[in-house]
Amino acid sequence: MTLGYRLGFGLLLLGFHTGRAAGQAADQQWLDEKMGSWHRAASRAAPGHWGIAVADEDGNLLWGLNPDDPLVPASTVKVFTTGFARSVLGGTARRPTRVVGAGSVDPTTGEWIGSWGLELNGDPSFERGVGAGPTLYDLALQLASAGIRKLTGPLNVQSADGPADAVYPTAWSRHHFGRLFAPLIGPITLNENLVWIAVQPGARPGVRPRIVDESPAGVASLVAVKAVTSAGRRSSLRLRPRGDGGWTLVGTIGSRARARGLAAVVPDPKIVLNAAWTHALVRAGIAWNPAPFIGAPPTATPRVLAEVSSPTLDSLASEINRRSLNYGAELLLQWAGGRDTPASQLTRHVEQITGKADGLELVDGSGLSSDDRVTARTFVSYLARFPATPEGRNFPQLLPANGTGTLHRLASGFPGEGVVRAKTGTLARVANVVGYLGRPDGVLLVALLYNGPRPWAARKAEWQLFRKLGGNGVIIPSDSLPDALVPHFGGDEETDFVPAWPVDSADTVDTIDSLPAALRGDTTPPK
């Protein structure tokens, strides 16, 4: 292991004493006793196929059970996707969104004479709400500041690296199609390709309720309100998709009910983009006539008229891991590996880092596919070796800390936040946890993979093990906290753009790590 990586864990390694070798036997006996008693209880509570590897910070296996059995990894794949994207792009890379065009501004009328279009490149944070990422309104304001007051011509959409579209990944089961955690993936991305509205009851029973908030901004124009206000506090609202790409709000909301939030997957992102762009231009004071432009076509090479950028890759990756955001992980994979064979490139990256190919098969970047396979030994090898590469500096800091994100149920039983840095993985028959555990005598690398009929019992047992091993743990340090990790999306999991009202959705959430924070209700499963 390189000196740089050891310095990254410096606070722990300074605690090593010269007599550590003499104490290794005692440490191993302690670990054997802890793991043995835990596994006996865990296998009774959650019978199934367990693959377990516990290693030291160099990746040397200290305790294992079926460590070479390939199992379904679920969202723990995001550990690899994060490292791959960092290796290819660097932690400070950003994803741009632009208005491009060729022509000039009429100084008298403020009309743009020439061609123009939007270039979307799959920024996971785009149009996620005020303060959460760049928006179309930011672009429109830049156009207005350049003197543009009128645009003519249909909305042309392009991407810098392929078709400007968003599709459902072929590696994902059709069973997930249309569910909130599995939206369309591609360069056209607004609010994670989900729509969200907040609905308030009317002034009295019998009148229409009102849409009082929306995301992305402007999407309310695509919602026809057919619901009515009823007496009392009970509500039953639904967003029913229409054939034209919009929705109809149906059902009832009690006159004394709190505002309700509703969410839906976008079936055609271009329709939502058109509505959101119209809204942004109106706010910026720009008139838009979508009729074809009549006049001499410009001959100049298109140039950037307005541009916004995503937060850094490290900031995006930290958020994606903390929320276990399938959508964001797939966009990171496409950003780093292109759109043709990104999963194959991801697999080669893991093989190169770990030196292991047996039992490894990756078909997506999020882990939502049940065709992915990884061994516990591969995970701990990656956790040890990737931070030793130049691109792996501070890698553990990109994973959720105990008490945050999908590790929010690990808030108690530790000396502080950051003793654990780990990633969960959850599907209908999968409950995995992979990551780092700081202890006074060094960092433990832990991979707990469970495939079986009782995933929630397995997850409970996994949390118990982390508390057993980390009750006297120490916070995993970093070389320093780089600017790339300064949060862009607010604080804890429960404060990221969470509305002050419940969210209604017909979506079933039994096969995911977490929904987007704005859409999270009481039905989100424990992680």
Give the pLDDT confidence score for residue 127 in this predicted structure: 95
Residue with tokens 């969960």: 424
Query: Which amino acid, 265?
Result: V
- The 3-class secondary structure across 339-358, one letter per residue, is CCCHHHHHHHHHHHHHCCCC
Distance CA 50, CA 65 (A): 7
Give the pLDDT confidence score for residue 169 in this predicted structure: 97
Neighbour-count burial for 397-421, b at 16+ CB within 10 Å, e otherwise: bbbbbbbbbbbbebeebbeebbbbb
For 52-70, the DSSP string reads: EEEE-TT--EEEEESTT--
Bridging pattern class, strands 260-265 and 235-241: unpaired
Give the pLDDT confidence score for residue 297 in this predicted structure: 67
Distance CA 429, CA 378 (A): 21
Give the pLDDT confidence score for residue 27 in this predicted structure: 80
Give the pLDDT confidence score for residue 25 in this predicted structure: 58
- pTM, full prediction: 0.88
Bridging pattern class, strands 287-289 and 150-152: parallel
Q: Encoding tokens for residue 381?
A: 């090898």
**Within the chain, which residue ranges are assigned CATH 3.50.80.20?**
96-174+182-187+268-309
| Helix, strand, coil fractions of the chain, as percent rounded to 5 | 35, 25, 45
Give the pLDDT confidence score for residue 301 in this predicted structure: 85
Judged by DSSP in three states, 210 sits in: strand
Instruction: For residue 77, give the nearest of 374, 331, 388 by alpha carbon.
Output: 374
Instruction: For residue 139, give the nearest of 220, 217, 221 by alpha carbon.
Output: 217
Helix axis angle for 342-354 and 326-337, nearest 10°, is: 80
Terminal-to-terminal C-alpha distance of the chain: 32
Distance CA 173, CA 512 (A): 13
CATH class of 3-15+26-91+312-487: alpha beta
Return per-residue pLDDT of the chain as tens, 527 residues: 333 333 344 334 333 333 344 345 558 888 999 999 999 999 999 999 999 999 999 999 999 999 999 999 999 999 999 999 999 999 999 999 999 999 999 999 999 999 999 999 999 999 987 678 999 999 999 999 999 999 999 999 999 988 999 999 999 999 999 999 999 999 999 999 999 999 999 999 999 999 999 999 999 999 999 999 999 999 999 999 999 999 999 999 999 999 999 999 999 999 999 999 999 999 999 999 998 876 766 777 899 999 999 999 999 999 999 999 999 999 999 999 999 999 999 999 999 999 999 999 999 999 999 999 999 999 999 999 999 999 999 999 999 999 999 999 999 999 999 999 999 999 999 999 999 999 998 899 999 999 999 999 999 999 999 999 998 899 998 754 333 333 332 222 222 223 333 344 333 222 333 333 333 332 233 33
**Within the chain, which residue ranges are assigned CATH 3.40.710.10?**
3-15+26-91+312-487
Distance CA 301, CA 94 (A): 24
Cβ-contact 514, 121 below 8 angstroms? no
Distance CA 140, CA 146 (A): 10
Give the pLDDT confidence score for residue 20 in this predicted structure: 43
Superfamily, domain 96-174+182-187+268-309: D-Ala-D-Ala carboxypeptidase C, peptidase S13 (3.50.80.20)
